[in-house]
Amino acid sequence: MSSLIDRPNAPESEQPEAGTPISTGSEWTFELIQKYDEEIAQCAAEFGLDTYPNQIEVITAEQMMDAYSSVGMPVGYHHWSFGKQFLQTSKGYQRGQMGLAYEIVINSNPCIAYLMEENTLPMQALVIAHASYGHNSFFKGNYLFRTWTDASAIIDYLVFARNYVSECEERYGVDAVEEILDSCHALMNYGVDRYKRPAPISAAEEARRQKEREEYEQRRINDLWRTIPKAYEDEDTVHRRPRYPAEPQENLLYFIEKNAPLLETWQRELVRIVRKLAQYFYPQRQTQVMNEGWATFWHYTLLHRMYEKGLVTDGFMLEFLQSHTAVVYQPPFNSPWYSGINPYTLGFSIFTDLRRICENPTDEDREWFPDIAGKDWLETVHFAMRNFKDESFIQQFLSPKVMRDLKLFAIENDDQEDHYTVTAIHDDPGYRVLREKLARQYNLSYREPNIQVWNVDVRGDRSLTLHHIPVDRVPLGQETDEVLRHVHRLWGFDVHLESVDEGRIVAAHHCPPRNDDAADD
Amino acid sequence: MGMTHIVDRRLNGKNKSAVNRERFLRRYRHHIKKAVSDAVQKRSITDIERGEKVSIPTRDIEEPIFHHGQGGRQEVVHPGNQEWVAGDTIPKPDGGGGQGQGQGKASPDGEGMDEFAFQITQEEFLDFLFDDLELPNLVRKKLKDTEAFSYVRSGFTTQGVPAKLDVVRSLRGAHARRLGLGGARKKKIRGLEAQLAALKSAPEELDPAFSHADQINVLEEEIARLKANVRRIPFIDEIDLRYRQHVKQPKPATSAVMFCLMDVSGSMTQMHKDIAKRFFILLYLFLKKNYKKIDVVFIRHHTSAKEVDEEEFFYSRETGGTIVSSALKLMHRIIDARYSPAEWNIYAAQASDGDNWNDDSPVCSKLLSERILPLVQYYSYIEITPQDHQMLWYEYEKILAQFPQSFAMQQIADPADIYPVFRQLFERKAA
C-alpha cells in the first residue's frame, strides 16, 4: 500500500518512522485540528518556512459563501457587486455545480485562514498546510507583499473603510455613494502605483490624516482651477502650452482623487479607499501562479513529510492525494473543461521541478540552470519565492521539462491573416520563445491595456484626455465607452480616450459621445 | 509551537452578505419587478407561498473595465499540444470566432448573452408584488407573516423586560430571601439583646473589677455589628425579580370562504383582470393570515354566471352583455348549499368595469342588501375604470350608506388605488 505514495523527503533506504498516526477516522474535532496544526508547524519549521502567526477559523458553508463573495476581505463595505457575487456563489453551490473554494486565506497578521466545517479531517489538514503555512509564508516572504502591503494594518483599514462608506451612505444617500463606488471599481485596475512604493496604510493614521486632507486637498484643487476658463483662443496656442500633468500618469484613480475639479471631499475619500484596496490586492494579482504554486508545493511536501513520520495513515494520504490531483489537473486546450492555464498546475510544476533540478539534475538542467543545478533545493525554492513575481518567475525558472510535461505551445492570431499560426512548441528551438511568451502573458501591463492620463485642458474646457498605447495593434474592448462614462462621472467634464500607435491617433472614444461618432449610439 | 489560534466562528452571523444582496436587488428592482409581475400572471392567487426565479441579462449587470478587444496580433500559450510543430497554420473558422482569441469572453452582442438567474425569497417576492400597491410597511409585514400567533402566559421567569415585571412575585421572593439571609442573625440579636437587658437590669457592682460595663460594651458592639449586617441585606435584589413569561401559540384556526366575482364580458380587458387579480391576491393573503382554512370560489359572469376554476376565471374571454345579478344569485345559492354562515366566515370581492344592464342594477342592490350582506363578513366592490360611473355604482352607493361596516367600494384606475379599499377592510379587522 505505502509503495503507492511518494516519500520525497526520505532517503530511499529509510523505512517509515514508527510514529503513531494522529488519528484514523475522517471526522475532525478541535483537538485534532490543534494536533494536526502542531505537527504541520513542526514539519514547516524543518523546512524553514517563516510565517506570520496563524489564526484558523472554522466556519459553515454559508459563511464561506459570505467570505467568498467579499473577495476574501473579512470586513468589507457594502456594495451591490458583492451581492451579485454572493448570489452567483450560492446558486452554484446549491446546485452542486461547484464545490466552494476550499480555502480562503487573508494576507494579514495574524494570517487568517478559514476551514469549512463540512470538510473531512484530511481536507482540513490539507487546507492548514496549504493556507496557514504555504500562503502565509509567501505573504511574509515575497518581495511584492513586503513592499506593497502591510499585513498588520489591513484589517484596521478595512474597518475604517467600511465605517467611512456607511457614514457617507447615511449622509449622502446610498445611491450617491454607489455611483462613485461603481465608477471607482471600473477603474480599480488603474488605481495602482506600479513602481512607486506607497505609504503603508493604517486605520488610525487614515482617520487622523483624513481631516487634514479634507482641508488641504480642496485648497489645492481650487488653486489648480483658479483660472476661470477663457473664451477659446486659437488652436495653436493651446497646443504649445505645457501639458498637465507634465508626465503621463498611470494611476488614474490617484490622478482623479487629486485633481478632479468637481468631486466633493467625501467622494475623493471614496476614490482613495478603492485605490488603497486596489493597491493591497495588486501583489496578489501579480503572483497568482507563484502564490498558488508555492502553497500547493508545500501542502504536498508537508503532508508527505507527515506520512514519512508515520503521523498519518495510508487512507489519509489517498484522500489527500485525490484532492491534490484534482487541484493540479490541467485540462488540455481542446477539452470542454479548458479555461486557460491552471495557475496551481503551472506554479506547482515549476516549484517541483526546481527541487528536482537541485536534487537530480540532468545535463539539460546543467545547461539551462547552471546556478542552481545540484544546489540546495530548500534555499533555491525560497530564493525563487522571495524575489520574483509571476512574469519574472516564469521567465527565470520555467524549465524545458515543465514545458514538455504540459505540452505548451503558442498560437498567434493576427487579424490580417486568415489563419492561426503555431509560433512555438515545446522543442529545442521553441523553449526560449515559449518561455518568453508565457512570461509576458503574466505581465499585468501586457494583460491590461496600457492607459495613462495624458492631458487636462486646464485653461480651456477642462476636458481630460487619456492615451491608450496599443501593443501589436490590439484595440480596446467593447466596454470601453461604458468605462469612459465612469471616468466622466468622476471627472465631471468631457473625457477623451485616444489610442495612439507610433504617434498617430488610431482610434478615439469620447464621453459624452461626439455626434460624428457612429459607434456611440 | 502554540502560535496558532483556532477559533470556532460557526455561531457568528452567517448573513454577512444580506446587505449586499439587498443592494443588488435594489439596484435591479426594475428587472425583478417585471419578473414578479410576469410570475403573478402565471400563478394561482393561492400560490404565493414561494419565491421566484429571476433572470437578468448578464449584459445589464456587468461591471465594465478596460480590457483588450479582438483584433491586432495576439498570441496565447496553451497546454496540451498534440500534433503541431512551429510554423503550422490552422485555418480560421468563418465568422472569426474560435480558439486562440482569448478565453471565455462571451461576445456581448452575440449568442453568448447569458442570463444571470437567481432566486428571490417569498418575502422578497411579496415585497416587489406590493411595491406598486403602495402598501404601508406595517401592512406589508403583517401580510408576510404566514402564521398567526397569540401570546399566552406560561409561568414566571427570572429574565424579562421591566414591563413584564410581576411585583407581587418579586416582593414575595425578596421577603423570603431576607428571611433566609437575616433570620439567623436576627435571632442572635434577640438573644444578645436579652443578655444585655439582663446585665443592665442587674445591680451595679461596686468593685470596678466586677463591673458589667465592659461586657455591656462588647454586647452593644456585637449587636450594632449584627444589625448593620442585617441592614446590608438589600430589600430587593436582582435575583428576586420575577417576570411574567409569555409564549407564542398559534391562534385557534377557523375557516373562511372567499368569493371572487368578476365580470368577464367583452369590455373587461386583460389589464382590468390583472388589476383585479392583485386585489384578489391581497384579500387572499389577508384572509390567510386570519384563518387556517380558506376556500376560494370563483364566479364569473356576463349575462349568466358560472362557477369556474381559477384558470378559466382569469384567462378565458367572453363577449356579450352584462347582468351582475346573475353572479350574486349564484353566490347566494352556493352559500346556501356549501358554506353555512354559522361555520364559515364569508368574504366576497367583486370586480367589474361598471357595466351592467340598467334594469339589473336595482335588482343587484336588493339582492345584496336583503340576502347577501346579512350573511357575509365583508363585501368589497372594485370598479376598474377611469371613466364616469354608471348605474351600478350609484345603486351600490346606497348600500354603502346602509352597511358601512361590511361593505366597501372603490374606483380603481391603476394598481395604486387598490390599497385604500383594502385598508378599510384591514382597519375594521384590526380594531
| Interface predicted TM-score (ipTM) of this complex, two decimals | 0.86
8 Å CB contact of A33 and B6: yes
pLDDT confidence tier of residue A196, bands split at 50, 70 and 90: low
**Which structural domain range is residue B186 located in?**
162-244
Torsion angle, alpha carbons of A323, A328, A334, A340, to 10: 120
Average pLDDT, chain B: 79
A57/chain B closest Cα distance in angstroms: 5
Q: Looking at the DSSP assignment, which residues form a beta bridge with residue A56?
A: A113, B6
Residue B240 shares a structural domain with residue B374:
no
The rounded distance, in Å, linking the Cα atoms of B20 and B15 is 10
Helices (H) and strands (E) counted in chain B, each on its own, are 13, 13
| B89 in contact with chain A, both atoms CB, cutoff 8 A | yes
Residue B421 shares a structural domain with residue B281:
yes
Q: Does a structural domain hold residue B263? A: yes
Residue A88 shares a structural domain with residue A70:
yes
The rounded distance, in Å, linking the Cα atoms of B253 and B290 is 8
Q: Residue-wise over B390-424: b if at least 16 C-beta within 10 A, else e?
A: bbbbebbeebeeebeebbbbbbbeebebbbebbbb
Helix axes A80-94, B18-27, angle to 10 degrees: 110
> Of B26, B31, B66, which to mutate for an interface test with A (greatest number of A Cβ within 10 Å)?
B66
User: Which of A38, A58, A334 has its CB closest to that of B8?
Assistant: A58
Nearest residue in A to B18, CA atom? A83
**Which structural domain range is residue A298 located in?**
21-142+287-326
Helix (H) or strand (E) holding A113: strand A111-116
Q: Does a structural domain hold residue A209? A: no
Q: Does a structural domain hold residue B229? A: yes
- What's the structural domain count of chain A? 2
Provide mean pLDDT across the span B46-66.
Answer: 82
Region of poorest pLDDT, from A25-29, A96-100, A216-220, A358-362 = A96-100
The percentage of chain A sitting over the pLDDT mark of 70, rounded to a whole number, equals 84
Q: Does a structural domain hold residue B337? A: yes
Task: Answer whether residue A508 shows pLDDT above 60.
Answer: yes
Question: Cis omega before residue A110 (within 30°)?
Answer: yes
Closest alpha carbon to A132 in A203, A197, A39, A194: A39
8 Å CB contact of A449 and B75: no
Q: Does a structural domain hold residue B238? A: yes
Task: Answer whether residue B274 shows pLDDT above 60.
Answer: yes
φ/ψ (deg, to 5) at B380: -120, 145
Average pLDDT, chain A: 87
Asked if A386 contacts A294 with a C-beta cutoff of 8 angstroms, the reply is no
8 Å CB contact of B89 and A57: no
pLDDT given at position A2 = 39
User: Which of A58, A415, A476 has its CB closest to that of B9?
Assistant: A58
Q: Does a structural domain hold residue A377? A: yes
| B1 in contact with chain A, both atoms CB, cutoff 8 A | yes
Residue A26 shares a structural domain with residue A137:
yes
Provide mean pLDDT across the span A205-215.
Answer: 69
Residue A100 shares a structural domain with residue A136:
yes
Provide mean pLDDT across the span A341-366.
Answer: 96
Q: Does a structural domain hold residue A382? A: yes
Q: Does a structural domain hold residue A371? A: yes
8 Å CB contact of A56 and B12: no
CA A396 to chain centroid: 20
Residue A354 shares a structural domain with residue A428:
yes
Q: Does a structural domain hold residue B203? A: yes
8 Å CB contact of B3 and A54: yes
| B118 in contact with chain A, both atoms CB, cutoff 8 A | yes
Q: Which one-letter DSSP state was computed for residue A249? A: B
Question: Per-residue pLDDT tens for A431-486?
Answer: 999 999 999 999 988 899 999 999 999 888 999 999 999 999 999 999 999 999 99
Instruction: Give chain B positions within 8 Å (CB) of A470.
Output: 72
Residue B190 shares a structural domain with residue B216:
yes
Instruction: Give chain B positions within 8 Å (CB) of A408.
Output: 77-79, 81
Q: Does a structural domain hold residue A130? A: yes
Task: Answer whether residue A12 shows pLDDT above 60.
Answer: no
Task: Answer whether residue A519 shows pLDDT above 50.
Answer: no
Residue B166 shares a structural domain with residue B285:
no
Choice between A276 and B210, residue whose per-residue pLDDT is larger = A276
Number of C-beta neighbours around residue A440 at 10 A: 17
Residue A306 shares a structural domain with residue A399:
no
What is the DSSP secondary-structure string of B199-229?
HHHSPPPSSGGG-SHHHHHHHHHHHHHHHHH
pLDDT given at position A302 = 97
What is the DSSP secondary-structure string of B53-118?
EEEEEHHHH------B-S-SEEEEEES---S--TT-EEEPPTTS-STTS-SS---TTSTT--EEEE
| B114 in contact with chain A, both atoms CB, cutoff 8 A | no
A207/chain B closest Cα distance in angstroms: 25
Asked if A495 contacts A463 with a C-beta cutoff of 8 angstroms, the reply is yes
Runs of H (alpha helix) within A287-389: 288-308, 314-327, 343-359, 363-368, 377-387
Instruction: Give chain A positions within 8 Å (CB) of B88.
Output: 421-422
- Those residues whose C-beta lies under 8 Å from the C-beta of residue B168, and which sit 6 or more positions away, are none
Going by their DSSP bridges, the two strands B52-57 and B115-120 should be labelled as antiparallel
Residue A45 shares a structural domain with residue A126:
yes
Residue A310 shares a structural domain with residue A366:
no
B56/chain A closest Cα distance in angstroms: 11
> Of B10, B77, B85, B121, which to mutate for an interface test with A (greatest number of A Cβ within 10 Å)?
B77
Q: Does a structural domain hold residue A2? A: no
Going by their DSSP bridges, the two strands B344-352 and B255-263 should be labelled as parallel
User: Pick from B244, B275, B292: which residue ends a domain?
Assistant: B244
Task: Answer whether residue B187 shows pLDDT above 80.
Answer: yes
pLDDT given at position B12 = 76
Instruction: Give chain A positions within 8 Å (CB) of B71.
Output: 415, 473-475
Instruction: Give chain A positions within 8 Å (CB) of B90.
Output: 411, 419-422
Q: Which of residues 46-65 of B touch A (CB under 8 A)?
A: 61-65
Residue A322 shares a structural domain with residue A343:
no
8 Å CB contact of B73 and A474: yes
pLDDT given at position B425 = 56
B94/chain A closest Cα distance in angstroms: 9
Q: Does a structural domain hold residue B80? A: no
Chain A / chain B CB contacts < 8 angstroms: 281
Q: Does a structural domain hold residue A514? A: no
Residue B240 shares a structural domain with residue B278:
no
Q: Does a structural domain hold residue B95? A: no
Task: Answer whether residue A408 shows pLDDT above 70.
Answer: yes
CATH code where residue B383 lies: 3.40.50.410
Region of poorest pLDDT, from B46-60, B96-110, B132-146, B317-331 = B96-110
Q: Does a structural domain hold residue B216? A: yes
User: Which of A45, A80, A441 has its CB closest to that of B77?
Assistant: A441
Question: Per-residue pLDDT tens for B151-167?
Answer: 778 788 887 777 788 88
Residue B204 shares a structural domain with residue B318:
no
Classified as helix, coil or strand, A101 is coil
- What's the structural domain count of chain B? 3
| B110 in contact with chain A, both atoms CB, cutoff 8 A | no
User: Which of B65, B74, B86 has its CB closest to that of A186?
Assistant: B65
Asked if A411 contacts A420 with a C-beta cutoff of 8 angstroms, the reply is yes
Task: Answer whether residue B148 shows pLDDT above 70.
Answer: no
Residue B123 shares a structural domain with residue B190:
no
CA-based R_g, chain A, Å: 26
**Is the CA virtual torsion A171, A175, A181, A187 positive or negative?**
negative
Residue B188 shares a structural domain with residue B305:
no
Provide mean pLDDT across the span B25-44.
Answer: 82
A417/chain B closest Cα distance in angstroms: 9
Residue B304 shares a structural domain with residue B397:
yes
Residue B270 shares a structural domain with residue B415:
yes
User: Which of B17, B87, B88 has its CB closest to that of A82?
Assistant: B17
Residue A33 shares a structural domain with residue A105:
yes
Question: Per-residue pLDDT tens for B409-424?
Answer: 888 877 777 776 666 5
Q: Does a structural domain hold residue A13? A: no
The rounded distance, in Å, linking the Cα atoms of A138 and B278 is 60
Residue B323 shares a structural domain with residue B189:
no
Residue B202 shares a structural domain with residue B310:
no
Classified as helix, coil or strand, B248 is strand
The rounded distance, in Å, linking the Cα atoms of B399 and B405 is 11
User: Which of A79, A330, A472 has its CB closest to that of B23?
Assistant: A79
pLDDT confidence tier of residue B229, bands split at 50, 70 and 90: confident
CA triple A250-A273-A167, angle to 5 deg = 150
Provide mean pLDDT across the span A93-106.
Answer: 65
The rounded distance, in Å, linking the Cα atoms of B270 and B256 is 28
